[in-house]
Amino acid sequence: MNNGRGMLIIISGPSGSGKGTVVNRLCPKGADSEFAVSISVTTRAPREGEIDGANYFFRSKREFHELLSNGELLESAMFCGHYYGTPSGYVGQMLDAGKNVVLEIEVNGALQVKKKLPECALIFLLPPTIAELKRRLAGRASETAESQTDRLRRAREEIKLIDQYDYLVINDDVDEAVANIRTIVRAEKLKPLRSGFSISKWRNPDA
Ligand code: 5GP
């Protein structure tokens, strides 16, 4: 039993935590998938291989601010010198269609969403050790040394906000991390308020 509406799942974690891989595995593409991934708007330049409308909507700062002032973003934040935001229209449509919507966003945006929609689940993803985080960041050819240092500094700041999250998932093994997230979603859906359970039907024993 559930009330037909999907749930909003937010996955945050430092660059190098493996969020992208985990989210891709959790949300296979296709109309019959129970999960839908939101595509964010960003002012950062596309990395090699990234496609507008698939990885992000790549927009100018002026276009970004227009979306923001028109109230078209559910949340927005600055990350390492670039703006990022979640288009609200798609999220609402997918939730209404009964899909579980996944946002892969940084902490400030995640906490904005939690304030607006407290029923969302905030999941923080971490690699098993700081050494592993550094190793994964250093292995990213797409990042300059300066950007890697910036992202590591940012990771240390983000980790300080971990206690505001509902769940912590360690990404040592991708399959296990994905299985843990699926377990979280199942448990969240069994919460009485979300499940569509109606106590009034149970008040009259003869009904
Ligand atoms: P990247 O530049 O590596 O693609 O993303 C940088 C950071 O921005 C990551 O932590 C990513 O999760 C976050 N991010 C991506 N899209 C959004 C968004 O729409 N809103 C917010 N607040 N953060 C985002």
User: Considering the entire predicted model, what is its pTM?
Assistant: 0.92
The mean pLDDT of 42-51, rounded to a whole number, is 96
| Ligand 1 atom closest to the CA of 109, numbered from 1 | 22
List the alpha helices (DSSP H) in 74-129. Answer: 88-96, 107-116
In CATH, the number for domain 8-197 is 3.40.50.300
Ligand 1 center to residue 123 CA distance, Å? Answer: 14
102-158 pLDDT tens trace: 999 999 999 999 999 999 999 999 999 989 988 888 887 777 778 888 888 999 999
80-100 pLDDT tens trace: 899 999 999 999 999 999 999
User: From the CB of 40, is ligand 1 less than 6 Å away?
Assistant: yes
The predicted pLDDT at position 2 comes to 53
170-197 pLDDT tens trace: 999 999 999 999 999 999 999 988 877 7
CA-to-CA distance for 160 and 166, rounded, in angstroms? 14
The residue to mutate among 22, 57, 105, 165, having the most atoms of ligand 1 within 8 angstroms of its beta carbon, is: 105
Query: How distant, in Å, are the alpha carbons of 13, 20, 95, 111, 163 from that of 2?
Result: 29, 28, 13, 26, 29
**DSSP code of residue 121:** E
Residue 79: beta bridge partners?
82
The predicted pLDDT at position 205 comes to 67
Nearest CA to 33 out of 184, 193, 185 is that of 185
